[in-house]
Amino acid sequence: MSKPSPEVYERGKGMDAHNEVMRGIRAQKDAQYDPHEPTRVWIDEDNTPGGVYQSLTIILNTGGCRWARAGGCTMCGYVAESVEGGSVTHEALMDQIDVCLDHERENADEESGLVKIYTSGSFLDEREVGAETRRAIAETFGDRERIVVESLPDFVEREKLADFTEQGLDTDVAIGLETATDRVRHDCVNKYFDFEEFVAASEAADEAGAGVKAYLLMKPPFLSESEAIEDMKSSVRRCAEHAHTVSMNPTNVQRYTMVDELYFRDGYRPPWLWSVAEVLEDTADADAIVVSDPVGHGSDRGPHNCGDCDDRVQKAIKDFDLRQDPSVFSEVDCECEATWEAVVERETAYSLPLAR
Ligand code: SF4
Ligand SMILES: [Zn+2]
């Protein structure tokens, strides 16, 4: 059984009570993965400042998020320590990249212009991915157009990003900011950094000639539907000042999380898809590409409406992602909009959730 525990770096960050609960929950999960296999790989399509690209998305297995080991974010079900010993060697990481290249050859007619690398942690943290591996990966994908690497803001440094920009790649750092509101990030998500650190990271990226893609989380636990909507509207606008792309993603209920415990006890409902549409429509004039990928849409554990209209609203959201045209939302309606409006008007943080 994995026993999450904070290393010195993580100690004293976040909320002690949240960390303690999350450590207890994560300790119930016992999973080990092969360090020579990526966590996941898939081919998709993405809207970027350089246009719409076929994308190769890679989730590298680097041994698990260090923050998760300390307890970590209330909605995140990633395993705290997913490989024996907690770290993955250069050779094993490069094997994972080979598996991803094979996957691309088998599943796409051409090479993807965009490569996105996530680690469920920080690709730029050298304890997860060493400098040698980072440079080798930059070379491997040096002939593509764009690359996105995920990192917490602490590890974003000009020199590290230069490995990619020097290959001639349009480079972006994906930062899981979750919200621009420090209080919500600390108290609801249990993420330890401040908005200011995100701004500093975006400045470091800018110095390296790289851009920022900010990830936001709609409706962490303890917020009502209307508070979640307002939090996202202001977050999208504040992020747009520092990031060229904002990806606003609704919370889904993952196993082995605090959100799951609340959901199980009828204390949490994922956001309505109408709320996602409302934020996208309202912030369409923000100076950034704003997209959303409602994972698990239409299911009880994912963002959902009444069951009848979920696929249609999801399709409108995906259309908006590619075209950035808010009129797509005027083409969908459903009787459940009235229920959603009542929830937005009446639900409070101490009466959650008002409707399922
Ligand atoms: S959301 Fe990211 S930082 Fe938070 S615990 Fe999960 S992997 Fe770690
Ligand atoms: Zn409906």
pLDDT above 60 for 356: yes
Span 149-176, average pLDDT: 96
Q: Average pLDDT, stretch 215-222?
A: 97
Q: Calculate what percentage of the chain has a pLDDT beyond 70.
A: 94
Report which ligand 1 atom has the smallest distance to the Cα of 65. Answer: 8
Confidence (pTM): 0.91
pLDDT of residue 131: 97
Say what the pLDDT of residue 349 is: 85
Band of residue 2 on the pLDDT scale cut at 50, 70, 90: very low
Find out whether the beta carbon of 156 lies less than 6 Å from any atom of ligand 1. no
What mean pLDDT do residues 134-142 have? 98
Pocket perturbation via mutation, ligand 1, pick of 13, 15, 19, 67 by most ligand atoms within 8 A of CB? 67
**pLDDT greater than 50 at residue 1:** no
Mean pLDDT of 11-18: 75
* Ligand 1 centre distance from Cα of residue 73 (Å): 6
Q: Which residue has the higher pLDDT, 240 or 78?
A: 240
Sequence-distant (≥ 6) Cβ neighbours of residue 196 within 8 angstroms: none
Compute, in angstroms, the gap from residue 228 CA to the centroid of ligand 2: 20
Whether 212 is in the pocket of ligand 1, judged by its Cβ within 6 Å, is no
What is residue 81's predicted lDDT score, i.e. its pLDDT? 63
pLDDT category of residue 27 using cuts at 50, 70 and 90: confident
Q: What is the C-alpha separation between 55 and 45, in angstroms, rounded?
A: 5
CB distance 176 to ligand 1 below 6 Å: yes
pLDDT value for 3: 54
Q: What pLDDT does 66 receive?
A: 80
Quote the CA–CA distance of 207 and 221 in Å, as a whole number.
36
What mean pLDDT comes out for the span 200-221?
A: 97
> Which pLDDT tens digit goes with each residue over 222-279?
999 999 999 999 999 999 999 999 999 999 999 999 999 999 999 999 999 999 999 9
How remote is the CA of residue 72 from the centroid of ligand 1, in Å? 6
Position 9 confidence tier, pLDDT thresholds 50, 70, 90: low
- Looking at residue 333, its pLDDT comes to 96
- In this predicted structure, the answer to whether residue 83 has a pLDDT above a threshold of 80 is no
For residue 191, give the ligand 1 atom closest to its CA: 4
Q: Is the CB of 67 under 6 A from ligand 1?
A: yes
* Residue 185: predicted pLDDT: 97
Q: Does ligand 1 lie within 6 Å of residue 75's CB atom?
A: no
β-pairing, 211-218 vs 170-178, is: parallel
So what's the pLDDT on residue 68? 86
In whole numbers, what is the pLDDT of the chain averaged over residues?
93
Q: Is 73 in the pocket of ligand 1 (CB under 6 A)?
A: yes
Q: Per-residue pLDDT for 182 more than 90?
A: yes
Percentage of the chain exceeding pLDDT 90: 81
Does the C-beta of 88 come closer than 6 Å to ligand 1? Answer: no
Per-residue pLDDT averaged across 15-19, rounded? 84
Measured in angstroms, how far is the CA atom of residue 313 from the centroid of ligand 2?
9
Check if 78 has its Cβ closer than 6 Å to any atom of ligand 1. yes
At residue 339, does pLDDT exceed 80?
yes
Residue 344 has pLDDT above 90, yes or no: yes
Ligand 1: centre distance to CA 197 (Å):
16
User: Atom 7 (ligand 1): residue with closest C-alpha?
Assistant: 120
Binding site membership of 71 for ligand 1 (Cβ less than 6 Å): no
Determine the pLDDT at residue 243. 98
Cα→Cα distances 353→159, 190, 218, Å: 46, 21, 15
Whole-number Å distance, alpha carbon 221 to ligand 2 midpoint, is: 23
14 lines ligand 1 (CB under 6 A): no
